[in-house]
Amino acid sequence: MDSILSRGSDHNLPTASSAENHETRLPKESKSIKATLFGCIGAREFSSPEMWKAALTELVATASLMFTLTTSVVACLDSNESNPKLLVPFAVFIIAFLFLMVTVPLSGGHMSPVFTFIAALKGIISLARASIYILAQCVGSITGFLILSSVMSHDAAKKYSLGGCTIDGNGPTSGVSSGTALMLEFCCTFVVLFVGVTIAFDKRRSKELGLAMVCAVVAGAMALAVFVSISVTGRAGYAGVGLNPARCLGPALLRGGSLWDGHWVFWIGPCLACIIYYGFTKCLPKEGLVWEDEKHDIKNLAAPTLCCWGPRSRTSQLNGNVLEIVRR
């Protein structure tokens, strides 16, 4: 080992004293890296009572939304109208509007991993809060459908798959393919983000329009997406876009079976839409928008993380190896 080192440039090697000084700096650097990473994800929010109160609000609101929305949709489909599916968007609009009006001032009114994910990407909320919100929404969905399954008749639960997300509910010929469902999920989610979230995250326009109008725009975008998805295919076995992966998760866990067929579509489609929309917002004209505070924007968080694990960390590792060689 010594002979190999002597063939290199000896003047570039650190002395024993400098190596020892560097060794004392390593714990400080590691602590600094750890603090930076924790700060990036907003880890201190885990100890914030307000964050947990907001998460509880998301859980209760999501459970109530699943119960109310599903029973209303089933009632629409069981009506004597010639085309009962056309009643579903109106039910979605009214219920979503009411729940948004109540929950936006309390927790932000997410009630869906889609809105939480895009809020985390845009930096409206921290990654720590986003993770707890999504967990609360999934638990809320399961709770809401547990309550629904206890009061819904067995025949209705079987007929409508407990209000779950299906792409081929009555057989392979009556539904749509996974590719078609994925495309619809992506496009409809992107429409909701583009129409609703763009206004909701714009501080100036939100202030001009007021809470009620912003909630109406978001609810209207959701109703529009549902209308498009259930009318464009004309297939009875396709239940329409989910727009909320947590809503699809509850019935799938409770009933299983065909609800797991293509279940990944209702997660991948919205996630892709959020990522594409996030990139799209970076190309929007800045003059017409005043975004909400974006201190946790994923782009801003990536820079310090890369610095921590990039060339600097590799240099530290190399210096550590050299230190062990000098000691020998």
Say what the pLDDT of residue 169 is.
55
Higher pLDDT, 176 or 139: 139
Rounded Cα gap, residues 41 and 305, in angstroms: 10
Q: Which long-range contacts (CB under 8 A, 24 or more apart) does 22-29 make?
A: 22/319, 22/323, 23/323, 26/316, 26/320, 29/316
pLDDT per position as a tens digit, 230-269: 887 666 667 778 899 999 999 999 988 888 888 999 999 9
CATH of 43-296 given 1.10.3720.10, 2.50.20.10, 1.10.8.50, 1.20.1080.10: 1.20.1080.10
Secondary structure letter of residue 293 according to DSSP: P
* pLDDT above 60 for 13: no
- Can you tell me the mean pLDDT for 294-318? 52
Say what the pLDDT of residue 102 is.
96
288 burial level (CB within 10 Å; 0-12, 13-18, 19+): exposed
Share of the chain above pLDDT 90, in %: 44
* Crossing angle for the helix pair 127-151 and 16-41, to the nearest 10 degrees: 40
Domain range summary for the chain, segments of one domain joined by +: 43-296, 298-328
Say what the pLDDT of residue 219 is.
96
pLDDT range class, residue 132, cuts 50, 70, 90: very high
Q: Which residues pair with 291 in a beta bridge?
A: 202
Which residues neighbour 122 within 8 Å (Cβ) at sequence distance 6 or greater?
Answer: 201, 278, 281, 291, 292, 294, 297, 298
* pLDDT above 50 for 311: no
Higher pLDDT, 248 or 316: 248
- Can you tell me the mean pLDDT for 173-188? 83
How far is Cα of residue 47 from the mean position of the Cα atoms in its chain?
A: 22
- Most confident range, picked from 75-84, 113-122, 150-159: 113-122
* Crossing angle for the helix pair 113-122 and 245-255, to the nearest 10 degrees: 140
What's the chain's average pLDDT? 79
pLDDT range class, residue 28, cuts 50, 70, 90: low
Backbone φ and ψ of 189, nearest 5°? -65, -40
For the chain, the distance separating the N- and C-terminal CA atoms, rounded to the nearest angstrom, is 9
- Can you tell me the mean pLDDT for 70-81? 85
The CA-based angle 220-221-224, given to 5 degrees, is 85
Rounded Cα gap, residues 292 and 309, in angstroms: 29
- Its sign, for the CA torsion 281, 50, 105, 250, is positive
pLDDT range class, residue 293, cuts 50, 70, 90: low
pLDDT range class, residue 315, cuts 50, 70, 90: very low
Q: Which residues pair with 202 in a beta bridge?
A: 291
Rounded Cα gap, residues 105 and 293, in angstroms: 16
For tokens 């985390």, the residue is: 120
- Can you tell me the mean pLDDT for 56-80? 91
pTM of the model: 0.79
